[in-house]
Amino acid sequence: MDYFPLFCRLQGKRCLLVGAGDVAERKARLLLDAGADLHVGALDFSPAFQQWAQQGKVTLLQGTFTEAWLEACWLVIAATNDDAVNQRVGDAAEARRIFCNLVDAPQEASAIMPSIVDRSPLMIAVSSGGRAPVLARLLREKLEAMLPQHLGELAALAGSLRSRVKRTFASMAQRRAFWERFFASDRLAQTLANGDRPRAEHIINTLFDAPPSQRGEVVLVGAGPGDAGLLTLKGLQCIQQADVVVYDRLVSEPILNLVRRDAERIFVGKQAGHHCVPQAQINQLLLEQAQSGKRVVRLKGGDPFIFGRGGEELEILAQHNIAFSVVPGITAASGCAAYSGIPLTHRDHAQSVRFVTGHLQQHGEIEWDKLAAEQQTLVFYMGLNQAADIQQRLLQHGMDAAMPVAIVQHGTTPQQRVETATLAQLETLARQFVSPALIIVGRVVTLRDRLRWF
């Protein structure tokens, strides 16, 4: 280990920054965020430093570096564009036993400035010891993307509860179990993100008071249309925290590979005309798993609230006072259309878009006269087996037989297949496809030849 990682409290402590250019500005912002009593020495100062000085945030020392600037300093950063000046600052700091960071010369420095992920009070520092700063930055960017912004607030809240947890739970095992539930509670995290403190207090009290049989929760997660890259960041975080993942046929294998390795996976796949597991049984399964105290993710293709029956599943959980939350997903209509080069709306062709279930006989009468209107896009989910009926109804209600249509199969995946035709040809075209497939009807389909990229 070339450098000992250490977090220092700099509030009110004098720190010296030599240099006042762009690089120095970045260092200054970090020191100011840490509450340092910042002194900046340079021949000339950028507008940012001049503004900070006017606001009383920094003290400017104009001129060439002198050792007098080091008086009473706790930390020094040399960030000029002159290597000789930087080295002179480093040597002077070394003689006085003051830690010094030398920009662009980390091998000569006694201190390294890491790449920082700031979720105060939670702090993560990444350093390559100055050997690969770009790699450290890329790792920091990955961590920034993975860690939600409210994580610091969650950590601060945890700190305020430590004494209460110690009083409430006698054993270390009980405390550890509480903290696992606390940090894995998606409802609590979302409530904090929304700034709803009263509801957060209610959720915390529930975590303290609820018996083990009621401490499970269910998160309904939209997996998107297939491409694992379209899974939302929050969805990824949820499936990596789950004890149990209940998934259906439309969830792609690359997304399942992102599930925590030790999580239990339960397949409840359904397809048109054949339900592997009845919906009532799925509802009961979610209920039983949550009642046993597990963190359950119900992983659904697309978005769970768009023809995904997510609302039905949550109604059962609500009836039994099971904690639940929802993470929306990119719906199949949006993902498949985008990957096919078909905008769902367009100023010249469609001012609205309608999502329609293809299970026409099961969900009451559809207002076909409104669906057949111009200047809109229709997207039929699960409509492949009903293509003949869709074609007939739209034609009967006045839609142009030459209206462009497209069918997208295995949308957003490497196996994606897209074919276009006219409404008069829809029934014939549909016979060439197998589920899962989406039917898009509208003049926006004509834009595919110009906008396709997948």
> Does residue 331 have a known ligand-binding role?
yes
Determine the 3-state secondary structure of 100 from DSSP.
Answer: strand
Omega of the bond prior to 148 within 30 degrees of 0, cis? no
Query: Is 301 known to sit in a ligand binding site?
Result: yes
Query: What's the token pair of residue 2?
Result: 């070339």
What's the Cα-to-Cα distance from 197 to each of 154, 179, 201, 327, rounded to whole Å? 12, 19, 6, 21
Token representation of residue 322? 């099971």
Select from 290, 381, 368, 260 the least CA-distant residue to 332: 381
Residue 80 annotated in ligand binding: no
CB 65 within 8 A of CB 89: yes
> Is residue 27 annotated as a catalytic residue, yes or no?
no
Is 172 assigned a ligand-binding role in the annotation?
A: no
- Cβ burial of 277 (10 Å; 0-12, 13-18, 19+) is middle
Q: How far apart are CA 427 and CA 395, in angstroms?
A: 12
Q: Is 445 annotated as a binding residue?
A: no
CB 379 within 8 A of CB 337: yes
Provide the token pair at 304.
């769970």
Q: Is 2 annotated as a binding residue?
A: no
The answer to whether 448 and 341 have CB atoms below 8 angstroms apart is: yes
Q: Is 216 known to sit in a ligand binding site?
A: no
Q: Compute the distance between CA of residue 356 and CA of residue 162 in angstroms, rounded to an integer.
A: 51
Q: Which of 57, 270, 389, 400 is catalytic?
A: 270
CA distance 160 to 251: 40
Check whether 418 is labelled as a binding-site residue.
Answer: no
The answer to whether the beta carbons of residues 354 and 369 sit under 8 Å apart is no
Q: Is 225 annotated as a binding residue?
A: yes
Per annotation, catalytic residue among 37, 186, 227, 248: 248
77 marked as part of a ligand binding site: no
The reply to whether 389 belongs to the active site is no
Containing 115, the helix (H) or strand (E) segment is strand 115-119
302 is in an annotated binding site: yes
Cα gap 70→95, rounded to integer Å: 11
From the annotation, which residues make up the binding site for NAD(+)?
Answer: 22-23, 43-44
Q: Annotated binding site, which residues? A: 22-23, 43-44, 225, 301-303, 306, 331-332, 382, 411
Tell me which residues are annotated as active site.
248, 270
Binding residues for S-adenosyl-L-methionine: 225, 301-303, 306, 331-332, 382, 411
